[in-house]
């Protein structure tokens, strides 16, 4: 009898551990196995939906005199994934017109001459593939590859990110470079001022995991 009770306690503990780990394992393309777990079937497709109010995009542009720091607003975002082949889809939209560095004159020049944000009001990332180099029960390193649409052009982009669970949400943090000059935007450098041809971008995104499979966000 005592042995049976020990076995039942171990079984309950294993089921509880699986239930805690399953949400993270799903978005991270894990191979969780087990019965009776809620949500999408282990190994099946799923979606991440961003919370725009809790998400932030920051950038830093290096220059000879000082670095310029700014931010942009996330409008909406959804990322679908299929663990079977590492396939992803969806749409993440950033409002180019919201770019702000804290200087009115500088911001007017940036919107008029560099971003041309009235003509190109959205920066859109279209994910296509996802890989997970490292994963634990609470966090993971992921690489999301796809296409970015910016300033009327399209370019391939891979975003390395760290993801961790915070309650019933996931926090996604990433840093990467955008070669804006190579992508057709104006270079403000001259014989006095040297401006970096790349801008360093940081993401701090909050998302929730939902059950339906891959779906293209509107």
pLDDT tens-digit readout, 175-198: 999 999 999 999 878 766 788 899
Distance CA 58, CA 49 (A): 20
At 132 the pLDDT is 82
pLDDT at 110: 93
- Helix, strand, coil in percent for the chain, rounding step 5: 20, 50, 30
pLDDT of res. 27: 43
Helix or strand (DSSP H, E) at 75 = strand 68-82
Q: Are 87 and 111 in contact (CB under 8 A)?
A: no
- Average pLDDT on 94-102 reads 97
Rounded to the nearest integer, the mean pLDDT of the chain is: 80
pLDDT band at 54 (very low <50, low <70, confident <90, very high): very high
CATH, domain range 2-210: 2.40.128.110
Above 90 in pLDDT, residue 90?
yes
Question: What is the number of other CB atoms lying within 10 angstroms of the CB of residue 179?
Answer: 12
Strand 87-100 and strand 56-63: the pairing is unpaired
Distance, in Å, from the CA atom of 95 to the CA atom of 99, rounded to the nearest integer, reads 8
Widest CA span in the chain: 86
**Residue 52, SS3?**
helix
pTM greater than 0.85 (yes/no): no
Residue 141 has pLDDT above 80, yes or no: yes
- Please report which confidence band the pLDDT of residue 19 belongs to, taking 50, 70 and 90 as the band edges: very low
């Amino acid at each position: 009898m005592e042995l049976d009770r020990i076995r039942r306690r171990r079984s309950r503990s294993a089921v509880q551990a699986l239930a805690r780990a399953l949400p993270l394992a799903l978005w991270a393309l894990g191979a969780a196995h087990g019965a009776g777990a809620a949500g999408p079937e282990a190994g099946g497709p799923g979606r991440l939906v961003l919370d725009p109010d809790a998400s932030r995009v920051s950038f830093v542009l290096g220059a000879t005199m000082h670095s310029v720091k700014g931010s942009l607003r996330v409008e909406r975002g959804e990322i679908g994934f299929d663990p079977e082949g590492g396939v992803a889809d969806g749409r993440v939209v950033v409002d180019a017109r919201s770019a702000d560095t804290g200087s009115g004159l500088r911001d007017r020049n940036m919107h008029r001459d560099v971003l041309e944000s009235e003509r190109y009001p959205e920066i859109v990332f279209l994910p296509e593939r996802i890989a997970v180099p490292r994963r634990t029960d609470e966090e993971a390193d992921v690489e999301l590859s796809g296409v970015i649409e910016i300033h009327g052009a399209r370019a391939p982009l891979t975003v390395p990110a760290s993801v961790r669970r915070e309650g019933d949400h996931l926090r996604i943090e990433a840093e990467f470079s955008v070669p804006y000059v190579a992508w057709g935007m104006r270079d403000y450098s001259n014989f006095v001022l040297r401006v970096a041809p790349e801008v360093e971008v940081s993401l701090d995104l909050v998302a929730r995991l939902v059950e339906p499979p891959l779906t293209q966000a509107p």
